[in-house]
Amino acid sequence: MSENQVVVDTFIAGGLAGAASRTVVSPLERLKIILQVQAAGKTASGQAYGSIWSSLVRMWKEEGFRGFMKGNGINVVRILPYSALQFTSYAGFKSLLRDVSGSDPLSTPLRLTAGAGAGILAVIATYPLDLVRARLSIATANVAAHGGAAFSREDGRLGMVGMTRKVYRTEGGIRGLYRGCWATAVGVAPYVSLNFYIYESLKAYILPPTLHADAPELAARKLVCGGLAGGTSLLFTHPFDVLRRKLQVAGLSGMSPEYTGAVDAMRKIVRAEGWKGMYRGLVPNLVKVMPSIAVSFYTFETVRDGLAAWQGWADEPDAV
């Protein structure tokens, strides 16, 4: 198989892996965003989201299945290129570093560097879609509805194109669409690095070479590797995710105060809520991330290997 075909297969498998993983956990993804950006404590602006189960029940009662999937359309649109770029560029960075360093296999620092580069590249390419998705997720959640000014009823009915136009028109054009990008890139780089590194390391133990490809527990073992990798990585990087969401809604009335940047945001959050404020939404994020990353890695490897097997079969002289 040519190198170009391997890149194409990796890109396709990465995109489908992202779409599948995010759709599976869409309700938890939306809840995580709401918990991260709503005001601390029971305030006049109306904080109504608390525990995971009660919040999901409330979301279902108020908005039904559409509430669970709110923002998932743009999330899939964003995650397809994001995940595809992440998996493809990770392989590309590893190949580049392997050639430059002359070492195979790569050392731990070089593997982490490849993951960081892949994460940053994917973030920069797709960040505006992530910001618009966050706005759509909270626009209909009534987090600030009682305060009355963060989002109007019309905002709650906007789609991805409408919300993108509003942010572009009212918040400084391209600069508004990249609000919080720096904090996101800084947080994503170690997260993606750890994700790939921990997953590949765990596979060496949980998926030993002696395990047969047709073993019934193979799928379960792969899912466990992915889940543990995602959960462990998140424990180290969740504060950056909180900063990202805070910056994305900064200045919206009833949501977050205005911040001059990521450092200023962290200072104000810690001053107002203590360090626990930097871990707001951690539990629903863990509940979301572990199955999401598990599904992502499993789908990626299944699709990639399936494409390789099909192409190998199709290239045979007797192939139909």
| pLDDT: which is higher, 67 or 86 | 86
- Among 170, 144, 148, which residue's Cα sits nearest to residue 49? 144
Q: Which residues pair with 250 in a beta bridge?
A: 256
Residues 134/75, Cβ–Cβ less than 8 Å: no
Q: Which residues pair with 256 in a beta bridge?
A: 250
DSSP state at residue 49: -
- Among 196, 138, 128, which residue's Cα sits nearest to residue 167? 128
Residue 70 clears pLDDT 60, i.e. is over it: yes
State the pLDDT at residue 141.
59
Write out the two tokens for 63.
């908005």
State the pLDDT at residue 156.
61
Task: Write the DSSP string, 194-205.
Answer: HHHHHHHHHHHH
Lowest average pLDDT, out of 40-49, 204-213, 216-225, 269-278, goes to 40-49
Residues 239/279, Cβ–Cβ less than 8 Å: yes
Write out the two tokens for 300.
């990626």
Number of Cβ within 10 Å of residue 216's Cβ equals 7
State the pLDDT at residue 157.
65
Residue 140 clears pLDDT 90, i.e. is over it: no
In the chain, % of residues over pLDDT 90: 31
Average pLDDT over residues 83-87: 95
> pLDDT for 249-272, tens place per residue?
665 545 556 777 778 888 888 888
* Alpha-carbon Rg for the chain in angstroms: 21
State the pLDDT at residue 296.
95
For residue 250, which phi and psi values (nearest 5 degrees)? -60, 135
Calculate the average pLDDT of the chain.
Answer: 81
> Half-sphere exposure of 22 toward its Cβ, with a 13 Å CA cutoff?
23
Q: Cα 275 vs. chain centroid, distance in angstroms? A: 23
Residue 142's pLDDT band (boundaries 50, 70, 90)?
Answer: low
For residue 256, which phi and psi values (nearest 5 degrees)? -145, 150
Element (H, E) at 15: helix 3-24
State the pLDDT at residue 319.
40
Residue 294 clears pLDDT 90, i.e. is over it: yes
Distance CA 38, CA 34 (A): 6
**Secondary structure (3-state) at 142:** coil
